[in-house]
Structures are given as structure tokens and as C-alpha cells.
Amino acid sequence: MKSCLLFSPLFLLILLVTPFYNAIAQKKSLDQKVDSVLRLMTLDEKIGQMNQYNGDWAATGPITKDGDKQEQIKKGMLGSMLNVTGTDHTRTLQQLAMQSRMKIPLLFGQDIVHGYRTIFPIPLAEAASWDLPAIELSARVAATEGAAAGIHWTFAPMVDIARDPRWGRVMEGAGEDTYLGSLIAAARVKGFQGKGLGNTDAMMACAKHFAAYGAAVAGRDYNSVDMSNRQLLETYLPPFEAAAKAGAATFMNSFNDLNGVPASGNAYLQRTILKGQWGFKGFVVSDWGSIGEMINHGFVKDNYEAAMAAANAGSDMDMESRSYIQNLAKLVKEGKVKIAVIDDAVKRILRKKFEMGLFDDPFRFCNEARENEQSNNPAHITAAREVAKKSIVLLKNEKQLLPLSKDVKNIALIGPFVKAKSDNLGFWSYDWPDDTARIVTLWEGVKSKLAAGSNVLYAKGCEIKDTSRAGFSEAVAAAMQADVVVMTVGEARDMTGEAKSRSVIRLPGVQEELVKAIVATGKPVVVLMSAGRPLVFNWIADNVPAIVYTWWLGTQAGNAIADVLFGDYNPSAKLPISFPRTEGQIPIYYNYYNTGRPAKNDSDLNYVSSYIDLPNSPKYPFGFGLSYTSFSYGDIELSKPVFKPTEKLVVKCTVINTGNYDGEETVQLYIRDLVGSVVRPVKELKGFKKIQLKKGASTTVEFILTANDLRFYNDKLQYIFEPGDFKVFVGGSSASVKEAGFTLVK
């Protein structure tokens, strides 16, 4: 019988191995290409690749004025520049690089953190959406616009876990939770890198700041960080590992010292964990000047020692400190840094340049037509509005004051943000002269919703930071003429972000007094909070019937807020970070350890872990957020009360929409390991599902738990699960849950 080759084992084997062979062949050819360039390079040219200077388009750190950068590019003394933007500028500098002996293309990097021309909500706001596809879309649009402008590499996502809202960079990450932060880190990396490096709408992602920068003592930016390696591994590193697994092309180290060793000179972080245990094949760039700053840390004596410590610890590229370009050649000649260290760093950098297709065509990202098209893509504006409205958190809505009617006769918009433009963009956004028209203010967003006969009154009332009360009377007069008042108060755009730590995180100026004056009129008041961090605003929280946290929502802020205010979008966001009652509570987070003397409730003061002047609980807990409708949770059903490590546990809970609006709920799953070889948090987020429910409808939400979901780092730094009793919680907030118990056996 004629053998049918098609189904012969040999043919099937060939089918199976071909993709792997191709991948290995591609990798081999990429490595061969890299090696073929490396072997032609002089030591100075290799060091040039490890050197990155700021362009002069914008400065995101202290500027060093020296030398002619264009001359240095022509001599091959620069491998990358940051803060150069636009196809015209990048083309000009790339042309200079092509005049160098090796003609190695430059990499252009920039902080495109939450949008480039179309600004999306700040990352902390996006995290409140718990909507991973939306978060990925935001990064995808940012990369499309940035890559079209000639930029190859974004210094994002920032994946630092932050439990201290005094720290200004809390706005840049995904909040306090490791599980949520890890999923968001991966989503952002995928968004930025799209279908893969080499596509002209893909940018290299950069997971930062490696590591534990968000745990700065006292929430003071750039301050020291000291924690056990166990805490580091369990709480702060997983989002970085998730970013690496998602294929992040690069990492950026951090300014802080960690357990006495600055991150830029920290071989445990960069070599043992990142490049060793995680097998990271990309490259690590230092943060602005951080290599040279090891002198200030008192970790090295001078730039010579700084360059030695950083290179040997695995910092592959030196951003702006000039330590490498001024010292590495001498260090190699003196045997203090082996040429193998230099070659490894340069190969990592060259590999990314090959993957980006820059050796094939150094100008492939310099396409002006694409730049114009993507800088004005209406689909991006639509996306920005979609993501923004999903990021808005409804904190309070007494007597269903919201949503407002579009037929409202007289509405007063009061506060310093009503007609604000760039204050909607937040930190890490750029001012494009012709773009302010693109930013939709609250005033414009509300006006676009109202029926023709509605009368919209306006009064600024006060400035954001100024202490003048001169505008109060006009604001009170406007309120007196209105049927409802919408106030918008908050932080100026430069009050949260890098180097913007605040010891008191309350409304600046006299804004709270303005709110009090308007509430005193007796009119129904809605307050919108515009900020980059959790603020303390207890009087407003206790005395205003409706409160909406609008963060900094970007280009489409006014439209997104109006969508929520008038019910065209039912708010669904949930807080990704705890809101303290006062600064004295900080750090405050939901996944705390129980202690030996846990307080039974907020009023328990009987020799327990509590304050005599304040409840322990936060003002608003992690995972909290209201809807215009309401959801009720049935009892938890478990597939079995006892399960083995080889089995799965099915956790079910029925959720009913008991209100009058269709709505979306983020159903959260937490566990608690009741007894561990190290103490375990009272709750740990281990899953969530976003469900859409029509009013009156119900659905059963199902989660699968495995023994691996119960793992933690023990005191030997082993990542293990331990048999024992557990609790499982399901609810719409970390503080409002149904619970059940189960046991994991050996």
C-alpha cells in the first residue's frame, strides 16, 4: 500500500519542529548579526553604545551643559538620546549617526507614559478601571503616536508598588496591590510593544524603576528603601517579573538605595534576579544620572568608581551621568571592568536595535506622513474618552443625586478646574501649542450634554493654590441661582509626579473653604476631585452628598466626566489604592498582617494595635467604588471544602443587580492563609472578573483556585504553598465581602 507521507510520523515531526527551528535559526542569525557588528567595534565605540544623553527638546532631570552632542554622535560616542521628538529632529540626528565609522543607529527614548499627543488618564486612574484591555489599548495608542513621531522606546510602564500617597510618583503606577499591579504591568508592556518590535507602530517598553522605588521612606521621593528580601520578592518584584515575562525590551533601574546598595550598583537585583533567575535578555538603562549619584549615596568615591560599580552590577546604559563615557575605557585597561562585561552590555543594546529594524533602515520611524496621520487620529480621541470614563470612581451618591438630568434648568459649575485645560493632563504629559484646543474642559463637556433650554452658570470661586477668597461671593451667587451645583476641586498638574512628594495631601489653597461656602447655600452639591494621588478630604467626604474621583483624565476629561455626570456611562471603577483618613495613617493598605493584638473594630482601644485618636480603617478602601445601580452578593459556594495540591477549587458566587440601572461590577476574589510559616496578610487579591448586569439580572461568577495561587515566600525565600486552613472572600470591595473557608491538604 502506497504509504501516505502526509501522515507519516516523519512528516508530523517535521511539522512540529519547523517553527522551533525557525525561531532558533532567527535567534542564531540575530546573535550572529550582533556578533558580526561587535567584532568590528573599537572599545571606545562599544562604550559609546552604553552612553545616553538628553536631547534638548525637554528636560526630565538636572541638565548637564557640555560638549557638542552632534559631534559626539558623529564619533560614535552616543548609543541613544532621550527627549528628542518628531520625525524631523530624529532624522537629523540619525543622519549624523550614519556619518560615524560604524554607522550604528541611535535609539530615541521618551517618557510616553500615558499618551503622546492624545493624553489618556494617568496610570493610577487607568488602574482604577481594572480593565486590562482598556489599559492595553491606552498603551497601544501611546506607542502608535510616539513611534510615528520617530521615538523607538518609551520609559514606561512604571510598575512600582506604592502604599504611600505622599509619594508623588504614585500617580504613575498601578497602586498598592501586587496581583493587580502585575497584570497591569503585562498589559502595558503588550500595549507598548504591540505585535512585536520591528513593527513601525511598536515601541520598546521599559519596566521601571527597578526596584522598590515606591517604598521610599516617608514617601519622600528618591529616599532610601529598606526591607527584607522576603518583602521585596513577595510584594515589589512580581510586577517587574510580569513585565519581563510579557517581553519588556528594557528595564530602568531606580534612584533609591535598597538595603544599603543603590539600585544602579545592585548586582543582586540586576544580575542575580533580573538577568539570572528571570533570564532577561534585554538591557538595563540607568535612571537620569543615577550612576553618578552613587557618589552622593556615599556608595562610591567618584565617577570612576561609579562606572565600575554600575557596569559590574549590570547597568548596561548610562543615562546622562557621563560616568561611562569618561571612565569605562580606563577601567577596562586597568582590568577593573572585564571586556566581557562591556561586550555583554553592548550586545544587549545592539540586539534591540536589530530587533527594531534600525540596522535595516535607520530612518524607518521617520515617516512624516505617518506622524501627521497618527497625531490626529480620531480613533485615538475616541479611545481616550472610553478609557477615561472607565477610570472615574464614584465614591458617594446620597439619595441618588447622580446622574443629573440633561434637562436640568439651572446648573452651576464652580471651581478652579471647570475651564482648566492642561491641568486635566497630569504629570508626564507634554504641552503641544496647537493641542490645547484638543483638550475638552468640564465646561465644554457639560455644555455638550445639556438640553437647549438649560442655563449653565459658572464661577471659578478661587484659584488652585492661591489663598484669596475674593471669588467666593460670585460663586455663592451662582450657586443660589442653580438647581444643582457641580464643583471641581483638586491638585494642580505639577503637584503630583516626580519630585512632587507632599507631607500634607489635602486640597491646596482655599478650595475646601469654597466647598463649605457652597454647601452652606443648601443647594445639592456634587464634588469632583481632580488629583494625581489619594487626597485627604474628610469634611467633603462627610458633608457632600455626591463625590466623584476624576483623577487626571487627559485630553477627553470633560467629555468622560460629563458622560458619567449625566448617566451616559454608569461609573464602574474601583480604587487601586487605599485612601487614608489622615497622613498619620500612612502607609495604609488592605493586605496588612493581623498582628498579635488586632483591633476587633474601629472603636476597639483595649490594648490593641490602633490609634487613640483615629479609626484604623481607611477613608476609602482598596477595591471600593460605587455604581448608579447596586449589586448584592449571594453566599459563596465551593466545589469542595478540602482540596489537594493536585486539584482545583471552584469558587462560585451569584451577583444580582438590585438597582435601577444596567451596570458593570468588578467582582473581586481574596484569600487569607490563616496559619503560615511566616505571617500572612488578612487578605490577598487573587482574582477579579468584570461583569455587565442589566437591572434586575443576576449571574454566577466562577473563579478557579489552585495551590499555586496560595504561594508565598517563606523565611528561606522559597516560593511555596503550605497545607492548612484558608478563608476565601468575594465582593465588590476589599472591605465588603462574603466569606467561606477551605482546607488545603498535603
Tell me the closest approach of the beta carbon of residue 175 to ligand GLC, in angstroms: 17
- For ligand GLC, which is the closer residue by CB, 61 or 598? 61
What cell was used for 405?
A: 438630568
List the interface residues with ligand GLC, window 623-642 (CB under 6 A): none
Measured CA to CA, the distance from residue 343 to residue 660 in angstroms comes to 65
List the interface residues with ligand GLC, window 15-54 (CB under 6 A): none
259 touches ligand GLC by CB under 6 A: no
Residues 662 and 570: beta-carbon distance below 8 Å: yes
111 touches ligand GLC by CB under 6 A: yes
60 touches ligand GLC by CB under 6 A: yes
What cell was used for 36?
A: 558580526
What cell was used for 476?
A: 455663592
Residues 542 and 555: beta-carbon distance below 8 Å: no
Amino acid code (one letter) for 225? V
- For ligand GLC, which is the closer residue by CB, 371 or 498? 498
Tell me the closest approach of the beta carbon of residue 284 to ligand GLC, in angstroms: 13
- For ligand GLC, which is the closer residue by CB, 289 or 576? 289
- For ligand GLC, which is the closer residue by CB, 81 or 418? 81
Q: How many CB atoms lie within 10 A of CB 741?
A: 13
Asked, as a colleague might, if the bond just before 156 is cis with ω within 30 of 0, I would say: no
From the list 53, 116, 120, 155, which residue makes contact with ligand GLC (rule: CB under 6 A)?
155
82 touches ligand GLC by CB under 6 A: yes
- For ligand GLC, which is the closer residue by CB, 288 or 726? 288
**DSSP letter for each residue of 640-685:** -SEE-TTSEEEEEEEEEE-SSS-EEEEEEEEEEESS-SS--BS-EE
Measured CA to CA, the distance from residue 538 to residue 548 in angstroms comes to 14
Amino acid code (one letter) for 742? F
Tell me the closest approach of the beta carbon of residue 54 to ligand GLC, in angstroms: 8
Q: Which residue has the cell 510598575?
A: 159
293 touches ligand GLC by CB under 6 A: no
Tell me the closest approach of the beta carbon of residue 90 to ligand GLC, in angstroms: 16
Measured CA to CA, the distance from residue 79 to residue 105 in angstroms comes to 8
Residues 214 and 169: beta-carbon distance below 8 Å: yes
Tell me the closest approach of the beta carbon of residue 60 to ligand GLC, in angstroms: 3
From the list 89, 208, 460, 683, which residue makes contact with ligand GLC (rule: CB under 6 A)?
208
Binders of ligand GLC: how many residues, by CB under 6 A?
Answer: 9
Tell me the closest approach of the beta carbon of residue 551 to ligand GLC, in angstroms: 19
Amino acid code (one letter) for 704? I
- For ligand GLC, which is the closer residue by CB, 61 or 634? 61
Measured CA to CA, the distance from residue 303 to residue 346 in angstroms comes to 20
684 touches ligand GLC by CB under 6 A: no
CA atoms within 13 A on the CB side of 414: 35
Q: Which residue(s) pair with 548 in the sheet?
A: 394, 528
List the interface residues with ligand GLC, window 121-140 (CB under 6 A): none
List the interface residues with ligand GLC, window 162-201 (CB under 6 A): none
The size of the chain, in residues, is: 746
288 touches ligand GLC by CB under 6 A: yes
Measured CA to CA, the distance from residue 273 to residue 442 in angstroms comes to 47
- For ligand GLC, which is the closer residue by CB, 155 or 283? 155
From the list 45, 131, 160, 287, which residue makes contact with ligand GLC (rule: CB under 6 A)?
287
User: Which listed residue (160, 164, 177, 287) is catalytic?
Assistant: 287
- For ligand GLC, which is the closer residue by CB, 265 or 403? 265
List the interface residues with ligand GLC, window 438-497 (CB under 6 A): none
Annotated catalytic residue 662: no
Residue 196: burial class (beta carbons within 10 Å; 0-12, 13-18, 19+): exposed
114 touches ligand GLC by CB under 6 A: no
Tell me the closest approach of the beta carbon of residue 473 to ligand GLC, in angstroms: 44
498 touches ligand GLC by CB under 6 A: yes
- For ligand GLC, which is the closer residue by CB, 78 or 728? 78
- Name which of 254, 122, 114, 281 is nearest 192 in CA terms: 114
Coil, strand or helix at 475: helix
Tell me the closest approach of the beta carbon of residue 156 to ligand GLC, in angstroms: 8
Residues 146 and 203: beta-carbon distance below 8 Å: yes
From the list 61, 86, 634, 724, which residue makes contact with ligand GLC (rule: CB under 6 A)?
61
Tell me the closest approach of the beta carbon of residue 139 to ligand GLC, in angstroms: 15
Asked, as a colleague might, if the bond just before 157 is cis with ω within 30 of 0, I would say: yes
As annotated, the active-site residues are: 287
Q: Which spans of this chain sit near ligand GLC (rule: CB under 6 A)? A: 60-61, 82, 111, 155, 208, 287-288, 498
